[in-house]
Every structure is written in structure tokens, then in C-alpha cells.
Structure 1
Amino acid sequence: MSRITSGNLGFPRIGKQREWKKAIEAYWSGKLEEAELHRQLAEIRSEHWKLQKNKGIDWIPVGDFSYYDQVLDTAVMFGLVPERFEYDGGPVPLETYYAVARGSKTAAASEMTKWFNTNYHYIVPELGNREPELTANLPLQAYREAKEKLGIDGKPVVLGLYSFLKLSKGASGNLREWSQKLLPLYVRVLRELEQEGAAWIQVDEPGLVTFVSDEDLALLQDIYRTISAEVPQARILLQTYFDAVERYEEIVALPVRGIGLDFVHGREGNLQALRQHGFPGGKTLAAGVVDGRNIWRSDLPAVQAFIDEIAGLLADDSDLIIQPSCSLLHVPVSAQGEDGLPGVLKDAMAFAEEKLEEIAALRQALHGENPALLAESRQALERLNADPSRSRKNVQEAVNRIAQQPAERLSPFEIRHTEQQRVWNLPLLPTTTIGSFPQTAEVRAARQKWRKGEWTTERYDEFIREEIRTWIGIQEDIGLDVLVHGEFERTDMVEFFGEKLPGFAFTKGGWVQSYGTRCVKPPLIYGDVEFDRPMTVKETAFAQSLTSKPVKGMLTGPVTVLNWSFVRSDLPRETVAYQIALALRKEVEALEEAGITMIQVDEPALREGFPLKPADRGAYIDWAVKAFKITTSSVRDTTQIHTHMCYCEFHDMIDAIRDLDADVISIETSRSHGELIQSFEENTYPLGIGLGVYDIHSPRVPSEEEMMAMVRRALQVLDPKLFWINPDCGLKTRGREETVAALKNMVSAAKRSREAIGSSIPVN
């Protein structure tokens, strides 16, 4: 092996204090001019580049920064703006860029879905009839900026053509045609970067860790042969992450100078392939050995030994880059200032900055420098493992028992449905919402005053009761059939429960980007999880006392709590999911005991944890479904269990959704309604279901006609006696006026749809 250097794949764009989010939202609200937005975001970029340089990173990514989403950036770079946004070509205006992501008064936003198996969401490119053009070489602009401002010879980051096509709508069946359209533009981007002097160009191809057919492989080989022939001097680092690469032999043989592999989440598969097939001499291996998706420190002595093993498999003329397993976009920026955590926990954490320090320490150790830096990481992890929170015998014994037992409702759905309809006598096409209502500045201010001790608990509780009173009244005035209490006492849907469950901890500044400027602060699951006290009964029971209509209890499901947290790494995720499920089961039982007989257990992140390898999916679905059923299966037949899921591809898990055995499932589909309907044309769904009839992520108020059209389309394949009408997600981030207006239109659309169907259809 010739040389060892350090690298990074991407850095969180939001800033330590979420400066990125605040600047963009100020621009959206008209409080910041576009020129000032550009200036502030450029300052954030520069700070990130300087930080990585100061941490000792040799290959600093440039072009990973975005004003919203990196996939959207690629689409607009090639002029792929949907026709409804009235774009005429050339550089894409910022207003249009944000309209594609968020919608406008006249055009619906593009679809949003999960970025592989992470909690990050990307804007799905739409490949319509527009001919692509290079509107701006964004990676080149970033490369020049870093070099001119800071003297940094950065590593431009480009989303690879193959993965871009795989992530786009309209490419299916036309991959080769679209490749021929876009490949000359990709070549131009890479040629201009090479001519500018970029030493490495990181071309991200995460699609290569998913299934790669023979046809896909042929297309991929054609793409990279063309690039090699057209830009022979470009040093392309073909970067994969999130799992082991498929078709290893063929991928490492592509005519590129380097290959990036994930040796954390794809460790066994990539290592086995490396051992079996070797690695081409003369190429650089970029080894992702520090976890870019979790917040725990690495056991650096073990990682060093692993790197030594990898190095031993490389030829003498191959270089090695030590780097994170993926972009650090998925972890918070810095663990500095997290002094509110127990020392044993804080010492065991590593956010983005600390992970860069780990990369630099490994590089130093591999060069025989500062070996003592590595021992400290192991000692910190050993102290955490010895903490009493990780040895709650009652929890461990209960999980061992439940893992061996079936979890099923008392009666099949047909019997439950009849009993529930007898109790509630709901109309055809009942209307409801997903759970949350707008959290105004007043609500957030009240919570802060309470947390700071400026308000007593009694005063804060009365404030929350007033908000509930107001919104129960609004819901009744609108005419909704099933109500919710509004969740005004909650910040984040996972954080709220984690704060009340032993085994969880929370950071002050551990924010990560979920979609657009939406940032979340995932809890840390570091110990055994157990039920301590009722968490939602007080507010839900109060809301139910104000109305004769049913009020749903609202919980976050065990798999979502798991997938939206930073999870301890010393136990299988299945075991942690069962711990959470047992705790939530007791909360469900407490709600039922208090007279709440509609209970929604949301699982928006169920699909998010879907393994990228088909061979691994069966086991995940088995324990994920079981965790949900552990939570919900102990209730009476007359207690109606609802659940909710967010944007994702459902066609490959319809069976799993059915196996949850929820009485009603609502699915967030307004941006991709037709695609999901197609899934139900091919798969019968015999339980209650609501397909979101309008997009809550956009500020526009949809018309009755739009929502009725969605209902008509859905009822072509779904039973009207089992169909519910609802928004596609919670309304926490929306304004009051637009929320009320949209819900009024939704209820009117439901009434008109009932009339159109005809009252002769029996509801029972």
C-alpha cells in the first residue's frame, strides 16, 4: 500500500445553531433579501470548510452543501423543472427552486420521499418532456469558492447519473434513453472540474448498494466507460454507502481511479468481497470505517486493527483513504456544549466534528503518531457499558418472554369492525386528522417559560387545556367525525415519549436535517427502556370530556421511536424495539382504562428501516410488525387501533402493512397518490384505510374538487365502507387559517363524495 490519507464525504449543512434553517426561513417569510441569504449561507459553508481543514482532513468535500436538498440541486442543475412551474430554461431562479420543493399558489410541490433507509427526505426529480440542459455547474462553483476564499483544494461532490436516474420519476423503462440525454451534461460537469484542477471528484452512487440487474450493470458500465473516454484525466472516486456494494467484481473494475465502500453498515459484505476478489492494483480504496449515521464514539483500537486488515488486502500501489461510512449529514454538528448529559454518556458520544477528529486520529495512528488518542475511546465505551441503566433485569426478562410469544388481537378484523361501528356509528367516509394542530409562537413560548421555571406546571397545564378547548371547538364547528386533542404539549413526536421513558437521554443541540429546513433532535437510547408512568392520558381524557365525538389517543409506535432515535449499539435493534413496545403497551392499556377507545399508534418510519438488501427484509419485517402488535394487541375488540405512515415506497411492503392488523391505517400519499393506488389495484387491502387527500407540507389550500378527485381515484380500488378521509400528515407546522380552510374543504369534499356514492351503500 502506497499512501494513507483522510477524507470526508459530506458535512451537516444546518450549522451549530441551525443558522442555515433560520436564514432560509427568514427568506421565505420575506424578512431576508435574496442577496443577504446568499451571503449568510456562504458564510456557513466557509465555516464548515475551515473546520474540516483544522481537524486535519485531507480531502474536504465541496458541493455537498445545499439550499434545500442535494437531489433537487442535481435536477435543477440540469434544468429538470416540472412544466407546471413555468420555467423557461437557463439558470433556475431561487423562487422556482423553492417552489419545486414546497409548492406554490398555482403548482403542487414535487414528491418527497426517504433517502434510502435514513430519516432524510429528498425531492424526487420528475423526468417529463423537457430536454435537459446544464444551467449551472454547481460543483465547480463550490470548488472555486473554497479555493479562492480559503485556499482549500476541495473534493467536488456529484450525485452519480445512475443513482440520479434510479431516484427519479419518469425514468423507469427509459433509463438508457435518459442516460443518453444526461450523460453529455455529466461529462461536461466533470471535464470542467478536471480542467479547473480538482484532484479528486466524488461521484456518489448509493444506488449500487441496492439490487443491480444485468441491464442496470450494462448501463452503469456504459456510463463510466463514456466518462473515462471523454474525461480520461479526471480522478473519479466512485462512492457508495449505507450497505455493501452489489456486483462487487464488476463495480471495482469500472474505469475510475477510486472506489468508496461502507465498512460499517456494509462491513461483512464488503469485507467478504474484498477477501474473495481482492482490489484492483493502482486504484484508491476509500474505506468508510467511522459510523456516519450514529452518535457513539468508535472503538478506535478495534477500528485501527480492522484498517490494518483491509490494508493487508491491498496491492502495494493502492492508496487508502480513511473516512466516515457516509456523509455526516445524518448526525448533529458538534457535541460541544452537551454538559447537561451524564458524564458517562457525554464521553461516549461523537457528533460530526468529533467523528472528523476520530478520522484524523486514526490517520495519525496508522502513521505511528499519537497512539494514546485511540485508547481513550475504548475506555469511554467501557464505562458506558458498565452503567446500571444497561442492566435492568426486569426489562430484559420481560423482553425474553415476549419474544417467544405470539402477539395477536382477540378477534379478527371483521368482528372488530362490526363491534366498533356499533359503538361509534360513524358515517360513510369518516373524516379525521392525523394528530397535531398548529404549534404557534405562543405555544412554543409557553413551553419555554415552563421549561425555564418561569411558569408553574399548573399554569402551563391550564394553558394547554385552553388550547385543547379551542381546537376541540374548531373541529366540531368544521364537522370532523373523529377528533384529536392537538398535541400542544409535545415538541417532537419521539422526544415527547422519550422524555418520559427511562433509558432515553436528550441533547441540547443535537439537531439533524429531516427534510428541507425541518430539523429534528433525535433522542439517545442508551439504556434499557421501561414504562414509568402514564404519558398521554391526562390531555387525551380532558379532550374527550369536552365532546361526545370520539377523540383519538395519540402515540408514536415502537419502530418509529427506534428508527428516529440514535440507538445503543450493544444490543440488536430488535431487542430495543421490543423494550419500547412493552413500555408503549402499558400506555395503550392506560388510555383504554381511561375510556379512550380510539388509539392511534403512528409508525411513519416503519418503511424507513427497511433493509436495502432484499435478503434482509423478511427478518426486519417480522420483528417490526411484532413490535407494533406487542404495543396494540392487548386491547378489547371495541377499541379501534389506528396507525399512520409517511412518504415512502409501499408497493414492496403491502403484506407487512396488512400484517400490522391495525383497524385503520392512514398513509401520507398526496404527492404520490396515483402510484399508491396502483399498488392497491394489484393487492387487495381488507382493513380500514385513509389515503391523505391533501399535502400538509405546502402552504397552499387545496380545493374541494382536488380532494374529491383523490377520493374518486382511491374508491376505484378500495371499499368505501372502509375508507377514511384525512390530510396526509400532522398539521403542526401549518398556520391556523390555512389549516381551518383546508379542513373545511376536506369535510365538504367528504360530504359531497358521500352524496356521489349514494346513501344506499350499507355502512355496517
Structure 2
Amino acid sequence: MKKLVPTSIVGSLPKPAWLAPPEKLWSPWKLEGDQLLEGKQDALRISLQEQQLAGVDIISDGEQTRQHFVTTFIEHLSGVDFENRKVVKIRDRYDASVPIVVGEVARQKAVFVDDAKFLRKQTDKPIKWALPGPMTMVDTLYDDHYKSREKLAWEFAKALNEEARALQDAGVDIIQFDEPAFNVFFDEVNDWGMAVLEKAIEGLTCETAVHICYGYGIKANNDWKKTLGSEWRQYEEIFPKIQKSNIDIVSLECHNSNVPLNLIELVRGKKVMVGAIDVASNTIETPEEVANTLRKTLEFVAIENLYPSTNCGMAPLSREVARGKLSALSAGAEIIRKEFAI
């Protein structure tokens, strides 16, 4: 019987210090060649064990084999120059040194498929794999070839679809597309962003998810949040389009955010990954705090569609804090199961 209120993380977990310097994004690898490959697999094993020990139901790779949730996928495509970078403003918030699109982009080879096969062999639990969404990919580089965000997004969607199909064949149960850009560029989401995401999931029979958050717990994102006022209504702009889409699961940020929870009503019928863990704070939630966030959302999402999760990835946190937060997530979900006697 399928477990109700299944828990999962959104994407990243902190990496071991021997693999990459901890608590930062775009952290460089400390190993090379075969040692790096072995080190990544060891980190994947640790990530799996930590999720299992914490009682997480749907297992992710913790993004242990990638440097960054967007650029690692782009690195494997043709037409992108990583040597000569350009500084651009990402998500209209912070400057980053990013690769340049110099020619036709296309998927030359599998990117995460071997990692997914490796993870699939280690566990019988359902596994979820995160890929960057096309719009967020467009927003994380400089385009010197297509000169059109939309055209580039369509090319990325084709590459993502090829990878997603291969991940499905490797035994992945849920493929999640990370689209934090959906919370910023509303007109583009409604004009072409959602259509492009539909292209990325075309032909998939496994479950699909879209993750839309307010970003990692880094200073630029936290500062931006302070400007959003007492109600964060960004989801209102994009949920109607998502509700009509073929995406199965919507992942959103709820805990310690100013998102009015009644906005979840706009995706009624979809499964909802409710972010009940704040990734921008080192304070470990109590199980009751997690349960309380979940309880409040049950007015707008049926319990069989409730998937407790983290607000975003936890790469910038310490391993100890991340571990505590995972355990709190599972314990909070268990409180809800008991209340509903399920």
C-alpha cells in the first residue's frame, strides 16, 4: 500500500567536506578523475543513508554529483562556452559569472543517468531526480547565439526531455524540474514558459513535478524576500497555468514564508509538495512546527495529495543542521498521519 503523506527533500543536501568545501554554492571539487567519480558515489551513498535514517520516504540524490543545480546540466551540452564567462544578474537579484551560449545547444550524452542507475541499485524506495527547468537555465547564462530567451528555452526543453526519458528508463519514479525563475518572470511563464516545460515532460509516464521557490538561503535571496511585503502572492500569477498543465506535482515554499496558503487552492487536484522546512535558517524546526504548517495546508489540498518537503535545497547548510531538519520533517509528517489515523 502506498504511504500517505510521503516526505522528500527538494533537491540538494550538504556535501561532505572531503568532496567539496561546505556551506556554499558552486563549491569546487576537491578530488579529480577516478577519485572524484568514486568520491561522488560515496557521497551519494551517505546522502541516501542520511535520508533513510531520518525516515524520508521518497529518496533523492542530494545533488551530490553536481556542483550546481543548473550549470552541471548545461556543462554537458554542446554550444556553451564555460571558459569565457560573463557576469549577469540572475533572477533580477544577484550577479554571477556564467557560461555563454555560442552555438546550437544540444544534448550530446547522458548527464545524470549513470548516477540515477547507481542510486536505483541502492534502495527499493521511490526515487526522485531534479533537473533544472528550461526558463531557469536560460536565466543562468548569457545567450550570444539565439538572442531570444524563448528560442533558447525550447532548445533546452528538447535536451531536458531526452535526459528525462533516459532517467525514467533508469528507474526514476518522479522527475522534478526546478523553476525558481517562474516566481520572477510572470509574463514569460504565461507566454511561453509553461509551454516549454510541457515540452520537457512530453511522453513521460513517470510522475513529474515543478519546484518553484524563493531561492536558497543565501544573502541575495534573503534580502529580496524582505522587499516582498507581508504577502508573497507570486504563485497567484502562475498557478492557474500550472493547474491546467500535465505536471503532476507542484512544489512550493510555505514554512516561514509570507505565502498566503489559500493560493494552494489554485492548483486543487494536483499533488502538492509543501515546503515545511525553512532552508534559510539554522534553527531546526520542531516536529510540531512542521505538523502545524502541514495542517494549515490541508484546507486547500486533499491529504492523499500532500507531500511534505523542504522549502528549497539545503546545500548551503551544515550537515548537522540538515540532518536535524530531515528528522523534523519526518516526525512532523508522522504526527499528521496519526491525527488522521492513516
Provide the TM-score with structure 2 as the length reference: 0.86
Whether 1:736 and 2:319 are equivalent positions in the alignment is yes
Higher strand share: 2
Q: 1:722 to 1:564 in 2, by over 3 A?
A: same
- 1:510 deviates by 4.8
Q: 1:547 to 1:520 in 2, by over 3 A?
A: farther
Whether 1:573 and 2:140 are equivalent positions in the alignment is no
- The aligned residue for residue 528 of structure 1 is 104
Whether 1:661 and 2:251 are equivalent positions in the alignment is no
Residue among 39, 59, 62 paired with 1:483: 59
- The aligned residue for residue 592 of structure 1 is 168
Moved more, 467-476 or 565-574: 565-574
- 1:714 deviates by 0.4
Whether 1:551 and 2:103 are equivalent positions in the alignment is no
Higher helix share: 1
Q: Secondary structure at the match of 2:241?
A: helix
Q: Which has the higher contact order (CA 8 A, sep 6+)?
A: 2
Q: 1:684 to 1:551 in 2, by over 3 A?
A: closer
Moved more, 518-527 or 588-597: 518-527
- 1:586 deviates by 0.6
Q: Unmatched 5+ residue regions in structure 2?
A: 22-26, 215-231
Residue among 586, 599, 606 paired with 2:182: 606
- 1:571 deviates by 3.5
Residue among 678, 684, 694 paired with 2:262: 678
Q: Is the 8 A contact 1:563 1:609 kept in 2?
A: no
Residue among 415, 439, 445 paired with 2:15: 439
- 1:441 deviates by 3.5
Once residues 69 and 95 of structure 2 are traced to their aligned partners in structure 1, the CA distance between those partners, rounded to angstroms, is: 13
Once residues 236 and 313 of structure 2 are traced to their aligned partners in structure 1, the CA distance between those partners, rounded to angstroms, is: 23
- 1:533 deviates by 0.2
- The aligned residue for residue 221 of structure 1 is none
Q: Unmatched 5+ residue regions in structure 1?
A: 1-424, 612-616, 760-764
Once residues 522 and 513 of structure 1 are traced to their aligned partners in structure 2, the CA distance between those partners, rounded to angstroms, is: 10
Once residues 541 and 586 of structure 1 are traced to their aligned partners in structure 2, the CA distance between those partners, rounded to angstroms, is: 16
Whether 1:629 and 2:198 are equivalent positions in the alignment is yes
Q: Secondary structure at the match of 1:527?
A: strand
Once the two structures are superposed, residues 680-731 of structure 1 have per-residue CA deviations (whole angstroms, 9 ceiling, x without a partner) of 35x3521101121121011111111211111111001211110110010011
Q: Is the 8 A contact 2:90 2:140 kept in 1?
A: no
Once the two structures are superposed, residues 640-677 of structure 1 have per-residue CA deviations (whole angstroms, 9 ceiling, x without a partner) of 1122111261112221222332211211232325x331
**What code does the residue aligned with 2:257 have?**
S
Q: 1:570 to 1:579 in 2, by over 3 A?
A: closer
**What code does the residue aligned with 2:213 have?**
C
Q: Secondary structure at the match of 2:77?
A: coil
Q: Is the 8 A contact 2:186 2:237 kept in 1?
A: no
Q: Is the 8 A contact 1:693 1:711 kept in 2?
A: yes
Once residues 712 and 548 of structure 1 are traced to their aligned partners in structure 2, the CA distance between those partners, rounded to angstroms, is: 29
Once residues 623 and 491 of structure 1 are traced to their aligned partners in structure 2, the CA distance between those partners, rounded to angstroms, is: 28
- 1:485 deviates by 1.2
Once the two structures are superposed, residues 144-200 of structure 1 have per-residue CA deviations (whole angstroms, 9 ceiling, x without a partner) of xxxxxxxxxxxxxxxxxxxxxxxxxxxxxxxxxxxxxxxxxxxxxxxxxxxxxxxxx
Whether 1:750 and 2:333 are equivalent positions in the alignment is yes
- The aligned residue for residue 646 of structure 1 is 213
- 1:570 deviates by 4.7
Provide the TM-score with structure 1 as the length reference: 0.40
If you compute each CA radius of gyration, which structure gives the higher value, 1 or 2? Answer: 1
Once residues 207 and 133 of structure 2 are traced to their aligned partners in structure 1, the CA distance between those partners, rounded to angstroms, is: 15
Q: 1:609 to 1:503 in 2, by over 3 A?
A: farther
Q: Secondary structure at the match of 1:746?
A: helix
Q: 1:622 to 1:659 in 2, by over 3 A?
A: farther
Once residues 64 and 250 of structure 2 are traced to their aligned partners in structure 1, the CA distance between those partners, rounded to angstroms, is: 23
Q: Is the 8 A contact 1:564 1:605 kept in 2?
A: no
- The aligned residue for residue 715 of structure 1 is 298
Q: 1:715 to 1:529 in 2, by over 3 A?
A: same
Q: Is the 8 A contact 1:513 1:519 kept in 2?
A: yes
- The aligned residue for residue 504 of structure 1 is 80
Q: Is the 8 A contact 1:694 1:702 kept in 2?
A: yes
- 1:755 deviates by 0.9
Moved more, 492-501 or 564-573: 564-573
Q: 1:448 to 1:752 in 2, by over 3 A?
A: closer
Q: Is the 8 A contact 2:186 2:238 kept in 1?
A: no
- 1:591 deviates by 1.0
Q: 1:525 to 1:660 in 2, by over 3 A?
A: farther
Once residues 666 and 753 of structure 1 are traced to their aligned partners in structure 2, the CA distance between those partners, rounded to angstroms, is: 19
**Number of residue equivalences:** 318
